[in-house]
Chain A
Amino acid sequence: MAEPILQLANVNKSFGPIDVLHDINLSVKAGEVLCLLGDNGAGKSTLIKILSGVHQPTSGTILMDGKPIAFANPREASERGISTVHQFGGTFPLMSIGRSFFVGVEPTRKWGPFSFYDRRKANEVAVKAVQEFGITRIEDGDRLVGGLSGGERQSLAIARAVHFGARVLILDEPTAALGVKEAAHVLRIVLEARKRGLAVIFITHQVIHALTVGDHFAVLIRGALAADFRRGEKTREEITDLMAGGEAMAELEAEIEAYQAAHEGRAPGAAELR
């Protein structure tokens, strides 16, 4: 089995007195989609922020290619090939597709002592990159990002990350605000990214979307990893129950509380719950 690209080992995060993440152990390999499921407030965003370098873990280690690593800021993480795409994808709605695609790494051409932003090249590369992901409707790189549909923006952002050499793609609720068709489009792009050998971390609370593309699933509840399983090991109902109430949820809560009572308030790891 190949070595995981990115791995979290016993990662804890607390903000002052509030513990947000407890003993998280996760790993993701190249060409694999890890779905991170959890209700609102479960600690998903904090986990993403640790992975993308916004926050540093309070304790525990992040391993990349098996070596411990620390990201001082998002820039460092992205230089290592960890790329985060947020819910609304294109964040510069009033910029053209070509310009926003190359923000910070603009192609230029020289003319005497002056260097000029190479609009034609930027547009061409951006349009080509997006079309390779199956969005053939985008053919004009001068169009403003704000004029694209939600799915197209997501696709643009993912295409951008892949183009600039991302190895780990973190997708933060990419399908949350989308219609059914648009979501299907984005899911297809997730699969395309997986096919290209990227490790994809797909954050969602829509179980159907997760089951469609995921190889490996992790459920977060109250900052602890409540379940960690492979594709086919649990049904949709079981996962939904796990995430958002139902008998399984009540049972689990009781279990966690019992555990916390016995362990001075510390939450259990996934292994201890099974």
Chain B
Amino acid sequence: MMMGKILRANLTTKQITESPYPEELARQFMGGAGAAIKLLYDEVDPRVDPLGPENKLIASMGFLAGTSAPSTSRVAFVAKSPLSGTVGYANSGGYFPNELRATGVQAIIVEGKAEAPVYLWIGDNKAEIRDAKDYWGLNTIDTQYYMQQSLHDGNIRVACIGPAGERLVKYAAIIHERRASGRKGLGAVMGAKNLKAIAVRGSQEVPPLADPAAFKEAVKVLHAAMKDSPALYHRFRNFGTAGNVELTVKQGDMPALNFQEPADERYLTIGAQAGTGYRVRHFTCDQCPVMAAQVRAVSSGPYAGYTSEGPEFESLYSLGSDMGITDMGACIAMDRLCDELGVDTVSFGATVAMAMELYERDILTRKDVDGLDLKFGNHEAAVAVLRKIAYREGVGDLLAEGSRLAALRIGGDAPKYAMHVKGLEFPGYDPRGLKAMGLNYMTAFTGADHSRGHSEQEVFGIPVPQAVDRLAIEGKAALTIFNQDGGASVKDSSMLCTFVVRLALLPKNLGPTLIADLWRAAQGYDVTPEEVVRVGERVTNVARVWNLRAGFTRADDTLPERLLMEELKTGASKGHRISPADRDTMLDEYYSLHGWDAKGVPTPERLKALGLEALVADLPRG
């Protein structure tokens, strides 16, 4: 057993305790997000107030963190999401995860609520809850800097919240370095606990591996697969995820103007090739040879002086095309400001895009939006609204609630224009031209989340398990399960970087096999590739039952009216939508293939087959 310990910090009682990593948790859920979601299931009542002291914030790393396996310095943050009310999960790379692992900790559980602002300090064999009043109110960049300075150690790594998290903005992010665990509002969970930051510094090696020689061999296979990829060290390093702009514009699947139309070639001004003109350097996460992060700087115009490690593709959609903005400088500036203020770029842009449409439709008046001319394309107004949201001032207080709740409060027809599933705003792929992506959005346990079951086959043309017609609904249930369950284990529980999985392993269908080899060599478990996939299926089922207990039903597995009823009018996906009948067909097949009933409830037989007998008693009755 080479997993580190679990550290539990109760902010109400000010007690910190440690416990060994449960063998059954490691064996059934591998680690990372999978284990964290099981801990959430076991410890948090799904009906609690996500911003109350009963919610818990779990930070969890995979078994590969701190080992010689590249691209594995990643941490999963899990809690009940204040934005959606579902399982909330976001992850990030950078340096914080490996530093935390070097303290000997594998996972942290933060519970309760501090009376006044605190931060959690974790060092070698030492953890403390410390006063954070000197840091409260600082943005995320300054919080990290001054904490390092005050503690006289520039190598301390700090995961923290900014003003948005302190003010419980429903899509507040957790930031460390310039990396964001951005989505689902987990920064607000920290804010609600008066937890400003988690600061870590460690020097410990990971415990001995079960079979170091076999592990070294598996790492060699991983490096070879990465080297074999014709894109990973070439186009991906040079362009980063921004390369998706050019691709999805061609496919007609990059949303613009709050999903009223697909982005066309006018938006190539925020694409990868345009971005190279702003790039000043590459950056990387700890122990990652790819160096795909693009540091971009604006040197002229109204946003001169802004520098950002990004924007990534999803942010180019949300800060750009979804708000009708074609100015790369504005996107870079907003990307930077979102990170400083601790705001999720995706939910921010999507929520403001909705407000822009409501403004253009006269559902919101100029007075309602504090006198701003909040029309599509007005990036000055978008920047002004961003600050208002982070500090909950004026209209920002309304939009800080996210698109679903803000639209309900506005009333009238407004909810028709809120683009979300289960309260989580959409990322940058319009599902009308990507049917499996649509089914993933409907069924992902976190809401409209591309990261749960990204349809790589549809977007990138990867013919694994087979080439697909992205505009057809046939076969998409099985494909979505392949992507969701495979992803939940191969990347989300091992915590191997999604881009390494996507670019190096998936094209060779190597993911489950390689993770099984690494897992076996690290932990000594006699596991097969099939068992790796089963871990993902367990995670999917645990999260599903937890969400059902929270009150979600089949009726929540749907898409906004616009995507069900309005066909795309232009672009390569013109004429397509996911009709209510298409939705129902795909859902029926998806539930059936999962071994769930027609209401989307896992059957006792399926849960037992997965070794989840204990969940049967929790299933909703009737």
State whether these chains interact: no
Q: Which residues of B contact A (CB under 8 A)?
A: none
Q: Which residues of A contact B (CB under 8 A)?
A: none
